[in-house]
């Protein structure tokens, strides 16, 4: 197997297994509400996905270096440093060690991607819908990483952050839903420019259904009563798309390039699913105390730092 496929897959699966073991009580304890147990998968999905991407930084550094702004010195070392940072953050979140440090630093890393790479690209090509996808995708990843920090440390301003996170999630979910409806020939879920795989039956129907559900979920996020569940359902939809549409492509790939594309789709969609789960948990902090008591109890042991 090519190193370009082996290392991202090996790192992603290893960190996924570590995360499932670490969060086993929160995920598999039947005494917790089902929604809380599903949302507990968020840190696990995020950790596995960024570990997978770290492998690509080690094996595809020559290609990825083109994304580093040319005005920065030592672009190849920066590419490797980002890979090391992603792997360190993934291991930290998956093992629940020093999360209060790794989560905000991961949020900062994604925010730098937005400011240094994707916003300038959007400014240069405002007419391309693809250019608008990435700032909101990476921005959602930054919001998710900071959400982990917020519901671990419970700062005084967590209620204000939950409001910001809720409106951000509502916009991104609706925006991605509209893009799925506007471009039904493109692989559904997190928008891209890659056509839906030929083996998928009724691809346009799948895209329209995905888009309609995302728009409906995004609208429901605007209502405080349904916000947490709606964000969680958007994450569930992305997780289902990952398992049903994108994991099979890993086994159907006939070349290294196809395999790399398949791995990227799995990691991207899983990362967005995990982002929705942890954002939903952060938004739950904005509920009135009486409504939020059960969620607080369920999460009380989920992210205790081990330093």
pLDDT tens string for the chain (307 positions)? 788 899 999 999 999 999 999 999 999 987 878 889 999 999 999 999 999 999 999 999 988 999 999 899 999 999 999 999 999 999 999 999 999 999 999 999 999 999 999 999 999 988 888 889 999 999 999 999 999 999 888 888 888 999 999 999 999 999 999 999 999 999 999 998 899 999 999 999 999 999 999 999 999 999 999 999 999 999 999 999 999 999 999 999 989 999 999 999 999 999 999 999 999 999 998 765 444 444 444 444 443 333 3
pLDDT of residue 126: 87
pLDDT of residue 290: 43
Q: What are the sequence ranges of the domains in the chain?
A: 3-299
What pTM does this model have?
0.90
pLDDT of residue 145: 97
Tokens matching residue 234: 């958007």
pLDDT of residue 158: 86
In the beta sheet, which residues pair with residue 195? Answer: 186
pLDDT of residue 287: 65
């Amino acid at each position: 197997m090519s190193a370009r496929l082996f290392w991202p897959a090996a790192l992603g699966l290893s960190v996924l297994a570590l995360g499932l073991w670490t969060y086993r009580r929160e995920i598999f304890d039947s005494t917790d509400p089902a929604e809380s147990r599903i949302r507990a998968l968020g840190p696990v999905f995020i950790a596995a996905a960024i570990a997978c991407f770290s492998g690509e930084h080690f094996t595809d550094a020559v290609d990825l270096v083109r994304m580093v702004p040319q005005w920065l010195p030592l672009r190849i070392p920066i590419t490797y440093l980002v890979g090391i940072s992603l792997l360190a953050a993934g291991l930290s979140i998956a093992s629940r060690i020093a999360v209060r440090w790794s989560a905000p630093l991961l949020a900062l890393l994604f925010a730098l991607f937005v400011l240094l790479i994707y916003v300038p690209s959007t400014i240069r090509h405002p007419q391309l819908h693809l250019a608008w996808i990435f700032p909101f995708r990476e921005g959602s990843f930054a919001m998710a990483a900071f959400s982990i920090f917020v519901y671990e440390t419970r700062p005084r301003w967590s209620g204000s952050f939950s409001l910001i996170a809720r409106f951000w999630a509502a916009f991104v979910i609706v925006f991605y839903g509209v893009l799925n409806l506007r471009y039904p020939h493109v692989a559904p879920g997190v928008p891209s420019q890659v056509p839906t795989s030929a083996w998928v039956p009724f691809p346009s129907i799948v895209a329209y259904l995905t888009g309609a559900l995302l728009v409906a979920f995004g609208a429901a996020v605007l209502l405080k009563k349904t916000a947490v569940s709606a964000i969680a359902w958007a994450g569930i939809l992305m997780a289902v798309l990952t398992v049903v549409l994108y994991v099979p492509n890993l086994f159907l790939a006939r070349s290294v390039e196809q395999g790399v594309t398949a791995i990227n789709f799995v990691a991207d969609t899983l990362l967005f699913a995990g982002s929705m789960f942890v954002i939903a948990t952060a938004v739950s902090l904005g509920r009135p105390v009486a409504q939020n008591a059960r969620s607080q109890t369920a999460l009380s042991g989920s992210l205790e730092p081990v330093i």
